[in-house]
Amino acid sequence: MQIVSCPSCGAEVKFRSHASVMAVCEYCGTSVLKDADAVRDLGKMSAVLEDYSPIQIGTSGVLGGRSFTVVGRIQLRYSAGLWNEWYLLFDDGGTSWLGDSSGMYVITAERQVEGSLPAFGELVPGRQYNVGAQQLVAAEVRTADCIGGQGELPFKVGEGYQARVADFRRGGDFITLDYSDGERPVVYTGISITLEAMQCQLLRDVDAIERSAGRYRGKLSALDCPSCGSGIKYLPGMTANLICPSCHAQVDAASPKAQVLAAGERVEAVPTTLELGAQAKLNNQLFTVIGMMRRADDEGTQWTEYLLYGPRAGFSWLVETDEGWSRANVMEVWPEMNSPDVVAVDKANFNKLYEYGSQVVYAIGAFNWKVAVGDRTWVAEFANGQIRLAAEMTREEMTWSRSSPVPFDQMKAWFGASFRATRPAAPPPAKGRYKRAARNSIFVMLAVNAIPLLANFGRSWALTLLGALALYLPALFLDSYDS
């Protein structure tokens, strides 16, 4: 460990890692650059926004039998939200990064890769690219601004620092290409992981979060819309992108002072089966409906998606269509692409059903990414029995989700009186169903009697005609009642 004095305030600044070249003074926020035997003042570093992450400088854990400590952090914002990158120092001197976004975590470490790598400008989410000896799918392609930092870091960052990064996936494999410092990207490989799997210690508890922000993580709070003054329920730090239910203004609640991003357009309220704030216990976990959006495909068919949040379980979705209800969750491990029309999960094949474009036509409430009316997404759906997988693509990212049907009675049991739906009526019988059944039976009868007809045409034909009329005339009579 190297300890230096802050050039601005004189306080101690610690460099635990020999790979660290910069540290942010915890007392005055000055960026301190370590240069040979001297240190330089790079000016003030913006403080990170309170995002309610349980991780903090000093959090420790174990990964693959190696102990680590969190020694630094940068916070990045892109067009649809923000995320943290925590800098980890292992006891053996190695380092890694822990990506932290909406309660989902990915740990990566730098790796040398031979051969050519794709250029940043040619990357498109959903397409396959060669990264070293692997062929992976581009999952996210984004340009983000560094808006704050803490602790020590392995490179110089400050006001105006911009990150150009792309994430790639294949099954459980995860690779990030970082183009921030030039055309040849730095390669990081890693895996999705949980805090429990890393045996994390010294995490921030509820009391620590309350002291720093005045609110409990995961507890719904109310914010007055800066545009019209109406109350908006949201999860501080977890859902910073809000749409006012009254005036439909887009509100950014991530900043210390909520700001209106875009004025809402006058739209008619959409009746919904579930209201914002409705609660249910799913698998013994309490969930609250915090956001709702209505989407339409290119043919005009509409459906409703409800975003649920549970303090212990994170985010989940309920989808309401004309066919019924389903529950969906984002997949951390992606399906294997066997062909454009077949994907596999746990050795089970899912066949493509259809693909279509969709757009948001109505949205209210709180979301963990920026949502706006008019947002377009390309969707491909795959099925294996009643289980469905959906790949959704925008210009910046691709995600996979897995869904399964939820019976009407189960929805009623979950939400009780707040579930404002009547039992779906049985579909009306198809017109002409008796006539079609009779016609099919006649075809079968003709096929069975084909040889007798040829051998004794006159007599067999007469009997066959009588049998056909006996089937067809009653069918016409019964169909008249259906109409």
413-471: per-residue pLDDT in tens? 999 999 988 776 555 555 555 556 656 666 556 555 655 555 555 555 566 666 666 66
231: tokens are: 């109350």
Q: Which pLDDT does position 219 carry in this prediction?
A: 52
Answer yes or no: do 408 and 441 share one domain.
no
Q: Are residues 448 and 314 in the same domain?
A: no
* Residue 211 lies inside a defined structural domain of this protein: no
**What does residue 410 show for φ and ψ, rounded to 5 degrees?**
-70, -40
Does residue 290 lie within any of the structural domains? yes
CA distance 99 to 86: 6
So what's the pLDDT on residue 20? Answer: 73
Residue that is last in its domain, among 418, 453, 468: 418
pLDDT for the residue numbered 217? 44
Q: How many domains would you assign to the chain?
A: 3
Residue 452 domain flag: yes
Let me know if residue 21 belongs to a domain.
yes
The answer on 402 and 465 residing in a single domain is no
pLDDT of residue 59: 96
Burial bucket for residue 36 (CB in 10 Å: 0-12, 13-18, 19+): exposed
Are 154 and 56 within one domain? yes
Residues 277 and 182 in one domain: no
Q: How far, in whole angstroms, is CA 201 from its chain's centroid?
A: 27
Residue 31, domain member (yes or no): yes
Q: Do 51 and 159 belong to one domain?
A: yes
Shared domain check, 437 and 408: no
CB neighbour list of residue 359: distance below 8 Å, 6 or more residues apart: 295, 296, 374, 375, 376, 377
Are 218 and 286 spatial neighbours (Cβ–Cβ below 8 Å)?
A: no
Query: At which of 418, 450, 469 does a domain end?
Result: 418
State how far Cα 99 lies from the chain centre: 15
| 285-to-276, 281, 290 alpha-carbon distances in Å | 18, 5, 15
CA–CA distances in Å: residue 11 to residues 32, 42, 47, 148, 254? 11, 16, 17, 20, 30
Query: Is-contact 53 61, C-beta < 8 A?
Result: no
pTM here?
A: 0.71
Do 227 and 283 lie in one domain? The reply is yes
**Rounded CA separation 436/452 (Å):** 25
Give me the residues of the chain with pLDDT under 70, please: 1, 19, 33-52, 159, 206-243, 246, 248-269, 312, 424-483
Residue 238 domain-assigned (yes or no): yes
Residue 198 lies in a domain: no
Report whether 248 contacts 268 (CB < 8 A). Answer: no
Q: Which two tokens stand for residue 346?
A: 């746990």
Residue type, 469: L
Do both 227 and 102 map to the same domain?
Answer: no
Among 136, 158, 193, where does a domain finish?
A: 193
The one-letter amino acid code at 263 reads A
pLDDT score recorded for residue 461: 59
Residue 203 lies in a domain: no
Q: Which among 124, 122, 157, 133 has a CA at the least distance from the CA of 44?
A: 157
Could you tell me which residues are beta bridge partners of residue 61?
A: 68
The CA distance from 177 to 191, in Å, is 14
Residues 454 and 372 in one domain: no
CA gap 62, 195 in Å, rounded: 10
**pLDDT of amino acid 189:** 94
- List the domain range (segments joined by +) for residue 445: 433-482
Predicted confidence at residue 475, as pLDDT, reads 60
HEC string for 378-429: EEEEEEECCEEEEEEECCCEEEEEEEEEECHHHHHHHHHHHCCCCCCCCCCC
444-470 exposure pattern, b = at least 16 Cβ within 10 A, e = fewer: eeeeeeeeeeeeeeeebeeebeeebee
Q: How many CB atoms lie within 10 A of CB 21?
A: 16
Do 346 and 467 sit in the same domain of this protein? no
Residues 24 and 140 in one domain: yes
The answer to whether 355 and 344 have CB atoms below 8 angstroms apart is no
